[in-house]
Structure 1
Amino acid sequence: MSLEPPRPNFMFEREPRPAALEEPLTLRIGLIAFAGLLALGAVWMLLAALIAPPAIALPSDRQSAGAAAAHRTSAQWAAWLGLVRGDLYAQAAFADADLAYLDKAGAEDPANAARIARARSNALSATSLSPVNGAAWLLLAELPAAAGKSGDANPATPLFMSYFTAPNDPTLARVRLDRALATRAGLDKDLQQFMKSDLRQILADGPQGKAAIMAAYKAASPQNQAVLESLSADVDRDFARSLRGEPPK
């Protein structure tokens, strides 16, 4: 008699693996695509960083504007490559800040039209992509109009935007006060309050600050000189008297 257990007359079938345990092909493709996008983004950022010049701030005088102009080409290529980076467009615009110091004949020279248009376009791109960039707004206020486009030179709106976006930036105070005093339009009350804040910051620099204000005062129109005298009297009466050529009390 055999002691071997009886064998079943059917074969056990292997149960299929749950679908959740299998790696879907679409998931693999998605991960590969995501990794590719990350790699492209890294290359894009690296190239822009390699091409971009050392950080360029808004020049405050002719000498610094000339130094910034040496980086004009690399700054422009970095802005084009950066595409959506407002800071790079701002640097490209600052590299053309020497245009702000052109005299009337130079501003009307058709040879400068392309540069003025490019600087304005870069500054507009910077303010569009980064609206809180007070320096870019200020450059827009400083740039002269291209030949035959006198409407481009209205500084009121960009000057106000510079004050609104960077009201307490000490690096902009001198340039901004110079631009406000150079405007031919009247200085309204709101703008005068902003100018008073710049006055305080500049006077805090001591003798150098006072010399800068005095130079801007001498270059201003009689109407704007009177405004500066009034604002200075609210901040520092002795300095206001010195503007008028009076001895301090």
Structure 2
Amino acid sequence: MIGALQKIESGQLGPTILRSIAHTDALNRVRRTLSTSPYNPELWMALALLQVQRDPHDPVVVEALKMAYFVAPNDARLMPVRIDMVAHFDPLALPDVKDLVRNDIRLILIRRSGSRSALVSAYRRASKLGKAFLEDAVESIDPSFLATLRG
């Protein structure tokens, strides 16, 4: 499953049909595993990441992302992935998602300064809406970091 996620993220699955088969297989495995391990935040993130590849507007993406937050709200390992995904694929239209991501950004800027590079990376990959959100969040928490974010 991890190998499939890495290939999906890097876009190295080859022909469309192979990508579709590997993607469907990975998605089915994650769903089966979640049915027996619903408190595993990595599985919820895997479901969100796999589903966003198929359809970024599918409600499953936001619900899986929310579950990853609810199961492990302060998991530092997941913060960069959650921020990147939200900034890149725009589930920012939902106020509760904005609040959850803003909390991740706050924790990184205030308590996990070693993870600030994750914000810069997310900013580089972000959509126009995602960049505006990241700029606003960073400016409200640590305005001195805004130049680094944009640089």
Q: Which runs of 5+ in 2 are unaligned?
A: none
Residues 1:116 and 2:23 aligned together? yes
What is residue 86 of structure 1 aligned with on the other side? none
Residues 1:136 and 2:43 aligned together? yes
- Say if 1:151 and 1:178 are closer, same or farther in 2 by CA, change over 3 A: closer
- Whether the 8 Å contact between 2:108 and 2:115 is mirrored in structure 1 is yes
- Whether the 8 Å contact between 2:90 and 2:129 is mirrored in structure 1 is no
Q: Which runs of 5+ in 1 are unaligned?
A: 1-92
What is residue 159 of structure 1 aligned with on the other side? 65
What is residue 233 of structure 1 aligned with on the other side? 139
Q: How does 1:20-35 map to 2 (within 5 A)?
A: none
- Say if 1:200 and 1:108 are closer, same or farther in 2 by CA, change over 3 A: farther
Structure whose residues are more often helix by fraction: 2
Residues 1:222 and 2:128 aligned together? yes
- Say if 1:153 and 1:121 are closer, same or farther in 2 by CA, change over 3 A: farther
Task: Specify which structure has the bigger relative contact order, considering alpha-carbon pairs within 8 angstroms and separated by 6 or more residues.
Answer: 2
User: What are the superposed Cα offsets for residues 59-113 of structure 1, whole Å, 9 maximum, x if unpaired?
Assistant: xxxxxxxxxxxxxxxxxxxxxxxxxxxxxxxxxx33422133143x958711122
Query: Normalising to structure 2: TM-score of the pair?
Result: 0.81
Amino acid corresponding to residue 161 of structure 1 in structure 2 = M
Query: Normalising to structure 1: TM-score of the pair?
Result: 0.52
What is residue 94 of structure 1 aligned with on the other side? 2
For 1:123 and 1:150, the matched residues in 2 are separated by 18
- Whether the 8 Å contact between 2:120 and 2:150 is mirrored in structure 1 is no
| 1:114 aligned counterpart, secondary structure | helix
